[in-house]
Amino acid sequence: MELVRDIGEELKSSYLDYAMSVIVGRALPDVRDGLKPVQRRILYSMFEMGLRHDRPYVKCARVVGHVLGHYHPHGDQPVYEALVRMAQDFVMRYPLIDGHGNFGSIDGDEPAAMRYTECRLTELAEEMLADIDKNTVDFQPNFDATLKEPVVLPAKIPNLLVNGCSGIAVGMATNIPPHNLKEVCDAIIAYISNPDITVEELMEFVKGPDFPTGGIIVGRRGIEEAYKTGKGRITVRGKVEVENGAIVIKEIPYMVNKAKLVERIADLIRNGKIEAKTVRDESDREGIRVVVELKSGTDVKTVLKKLYAHTPLQTTFGIINLALVDGEPRLLSLKDLIACYVEHRREVVRRRTEFELKRAEERLHVVEGLKIALENLDEVVNLIKDSESPEIAKSKLMEKYGMSEKQAEAILQMRLQKLTSTEISALVREYEELKCKISKLSAILSSREEIDRIIVEELREISEKYGDERRTVIVDGEEPLEETVEKNLVVITKNGMFKRCDLNFKGREVLGMPVKDDEPACAVICRTNQKLLIFSDSGKAYWITVGDIPKQNRTGRGVNVRRYLGLKRDEKVVSAVAVDEFDEGYVVILTEDGYIKKTKLSEFANAKRAGIIASNSRIAFARLFEDGEVVIGTDYGYIVRFRAEEVPEKGRNARGVKAINLRAEDSISWMSIGKGKELLILSKEGFGKRTDLEEFRLTSRGSMGMKGIRGSVAVVEFVKGDEDVLVFTKDGHAIRVSVGDIPKQSRNGRGVEIYKEGIACAVLI
């Protein structure tokens, strides 16, 4: 018979069936025992095989075969992977399987094949299965309906919280972190005592996730959000110590591959992004030990900040408390997780008590019959002797003493040794004990408080027996990483060497920069959280975060800027400016042929490493725009002065407008924008002076300028007289001078000698 159906409806129905199969039967854990179906089947199979913690190990292949053949007819490799995961102490906070052999490593090494490894249950896993034979949980048919398997385990351990779980279903995922067993048990006990307890009050017991690999959780906001809503993000860092100038990593974040972490650190060292000599993995059986050996004079805090920012030494763990509740996926708060577990344990204890009560009542019924027989021993013996068959004897006993068939059968099966005085006394004692036990079990079933008392007692025993101290430290802090913002000096040479150093220059000091056949091109005072926008003579702009520039002491030679930015071999740095953000403000660009423009900083946001066109002409100088005036100095000693408002706004590809008419063979040396009553003028020949601004006529754009100093202008800056200036010489010295100590001269004056070997550039402090 042909069945006609809309293809859309068929696809929708089939996909929903598939999705629910993945959600319920594969990817998500049950809120009650915290296990996925494959994990539950592995543990139950091992329980059936008698693989207790005090029994010999067996081959994992044997366990996998039992699971496949009886309960989980899927691939052997996924089953083995699930088994291995439950045995890895760097994945499971409290492993459920005791593995013997190579079960993989935190470096990402694969476990040995299942034919080589061996396993058995841990003692903790046996607590998960405790009382499963006492009708505590429901059973369902296996895949071919030849066997029964548990729907859920009794779970005396709150496994979902203490071991966590991760899984990707269809359209949803779960990522529940592990917790400390003691803390979770205390929280459950507190909930049982006060069902109206709040999440905040529960957090007094459960401080936060407790990962098997330790580490440090930074901030509590993500934890609180996850415990209240079921979703949250936490920042996890590795634990580090400083030993003899080296950074030693003792713990790493949860689920981070140590080998890849070491490889990433090595790449950063090789690329010059971290000022370190080498990285060594000295981990052994005692624990993790990764040593990052630093170069002499390197700032430890800066390197550590970069390790957190650029390696998995700091990661983000996204908490998603999604689990199956009554067969449906639900996002759960901390209180919901605890409440669902408590309800499960109440059901387990109730069913266990009912089972034990039924057994006790059945035994009491038999003992009562035996007691009647012993009280009428001679008559009973004669009755049995006179009977023609056991069936007739049974009928006579039932008729004469009002016994049930079960009681009569027990009397007929009783051995003669039971007639000794010792055995009779034991039977009487058992009778009294059974009556007492039945009374207690009945009292438990009739009282919710008694059931809760039993759960609390069991939790306290579990906590005392298996609990341990917290491994993961939680520190206050709302930000994932508290950056240390420093005020530093960045120096860049014409050939592209650059470095970052502390701003602690006093008097005349050897800077150790530039290198041979080079000289400083520009110097910028900036903060480590700013961006350094760098301009090259070819008309391109690049930027780098100041904190990513290698920090060295004042004698350091620097590193090549081309290791960080895509400058070509013949491309030279001419200027640099420090930028907080690219969302507002302008940068003024002056070309070698005297054209000027201001361009929005936002147009340079995407420059980064590859660079971006800043001008269609060769750039001579760049400064951030501000209100006031513009002064331009030339190699022939001329200075042009005009209002900053005359600089037009143009795009990156525009040429700009004429700012200065250069004389033949003359070239631009410096540009400054701002306000002041004086100009500080330094010459390339090594002289300096202060000159009243009014000595330079305020003109419109495009003039040829007025003579400003005898010699070539190296630096011309607006000053007030109370600043310091850090002068960089052509041979690599740095001289800090108070501007007020530099004498004032007319624009025709030569100035006083500051450094006889010549001045390259300067920056006001």
- Is the model more confident about 107 or about 415? 107
Query: In the predicted model, is pLDDT for residue 25 greater than 90?
Result: no
Q: How far apart are the first and last CA of the chain?
A: 91
Using DSSP's 3-state secondary structure scheme, residue 168 falls into strand
Query: In the predicted model, is pLDDT for residue 516 greater than 80?
Result: no
Looking at this protein, which amino acid is placed at residue 583?
A: D
- Is the model more confident about 312 or about 305? 312
pLDDT value at position 369?
86
pLDDT value at position 514?
59
Contacts of 730 (CB under 8 A, 6+ apart): 519, 684, 757, 758, 759, 760
- Is the model more confident about 320 or about 305? 320
Q: What's the pLDDT tens digit per position in 412-434?
A: 888 877 767 677 788 888 888 99
Cα three-residue angle 67-84-106, rounded to 5 degrees: 170
Are the C-beta atoms of 725 and 680 separated by less than 8 Å? yes
Q: How far is Cα 273 from Cα 280, in angstroms, rounded to an integer?
A: 17
Q: What's the pLDDT tens digit per position in 169-200?
A: 777 889 999 999 999 999 999 999 999 999 99
Give mean pLDDT, residues 580-606.
94
Q: What's the pLDDT tens digit per position in 253-269?
A: 999 999 999 999 999 88
Give mean pLDDT, residues 718-733.
88
- Helices 334-375 and 405-413 cross at an angle (nearest 10°) of 70
Contacts of 362 (CB under 8 A, 6+ apart): 406
Are the C-beta atoms of 569 and 537 separated by less than 8 Å? no
Q: What's the pLDDT tens digit per position in 332-342?
A: 999 999 999 99
Pairing assessment for the beta strands 216-218 and 473-475 based on DSSP bridges:
parallel
Helices (H), 167-320: 181-193, 199-202, 221-229, 258-270, 300-310
Sign of CA dihedral 83, 87, 90, 91: positive
Are the C-beta atoms of 498 and 490 separated by less than 8 Å? yes
Q: What's the pLDDT tens digit per position in 377-412?
A: 888 888 888 888 888 888 888 888 888 888 888 888
- Is the model more confident about 558 or about 152? 152
pLDDT value at position 45?
97
Q: How far is Cα 497 from Cα 513, in angstroms, rounded to an integer?
A: 9
Catalytic option among 116, 227, 341, 755:
116
- Helices 390-401 and 405-413 cross at an angle (nearest 10°) of 120
User: Exposed, middle or buried: residue 338 (CB in 10 Å: 0-12, 13-18, 19+)?
Assistant: buried
pLDDT band at 478 (very low <50, low <70, confident <90, very high): very low
Q: How far is Cα 655 from Cα 638, in angstroms, rounded to an integer?
A: 23
Q: What's the pLDDT tens digit per position in 119-164?
A: 999 999 999 999 999 999 999 999 999 999 999 999 999 999 999 9
Give mean pLDDT, residues 6-13.
74
Domains of the chain are 35-154 (3.90.199.10), 239-312 (3.30.1360.40), 348-466 (1.10.268.10), 487-764 (2.120.10.90)
* Buried residues in 644-670 as b, exposed as e (16+ CB within 10 A): beebeebebebebeebbebeeebebbb
pLDDT band at 482 (very low <50, low <70, confident <90, very high): very low
Eight-state DSSP code of residue 573: E
Looking at this protein, which amino acid is placed at residue 378?
A: D
- Is the model more confident about 485 or about 628? 628
What mean pLDDT, rounded, does the chain reach? 90
Put simply, whether the predicted model's pTM sits higher than 0.75 gets the answer no
- C-alpha distance from residue 246 to each of 236, 270, 289, 591 (Å): 22, 17, 12, 47
Looking at this protein, which amino acid is placed at residue 73?
A: P
Contacts of 223 (CB under 8 A, 6+ apart): 203, 208, 209, 217, 232, 234, 474
- Is the model more confident about 576 or about 74? 576
pLDDT value at position 481?
40
Give mean pLDDT, residues 733-762.
90
Query: In the predicted model, is pLDDT for residue 1 greater than 70?
Result: no
pLDDT value at position 518?
82
Q: What's the pLDDT tens digit per position in 334-375?
A: 999 999 999 999 999 999 999 999 999 998 988 888 888 888
pLDDT band at 511 (very low <50, low <70, confident <90, very high): low
Sign of CA dihedral 104, 109, 115, 116: negative
Q: What's the pLDDT tens digit per position in 610-627?
A: 899 999 999 999 999 999
Catalytic site includes residue 57? no
Give mean pLDDT, residues 241-260.
92
Q: How far is Cα 38 from Cα 71, in angstroms, rounded to an integer?
A: 9
- Is the model more confident about 272 or about 495? 495
Are the C-beta atoms of 670 and 606 separated by less than 8 Å? no
Give mean pLDDT, residues 19-31.
74
Contacts of 691 (CB under 8 A, 6+ apart): 678, 679, 681, 708, 744, 745, 746, 747, 749
- C-alpha distance from residue 458 to each of 197, 408, 453 (Å): 21, 40, 9
Q: Write the DSSP assignment of 91-151 as a string of letters.
A: T-SS-SEEEES----TT-PPPPPTTT-EEEE-HHHHHHHTTTTTT-S-EEE-TTSSSEEES
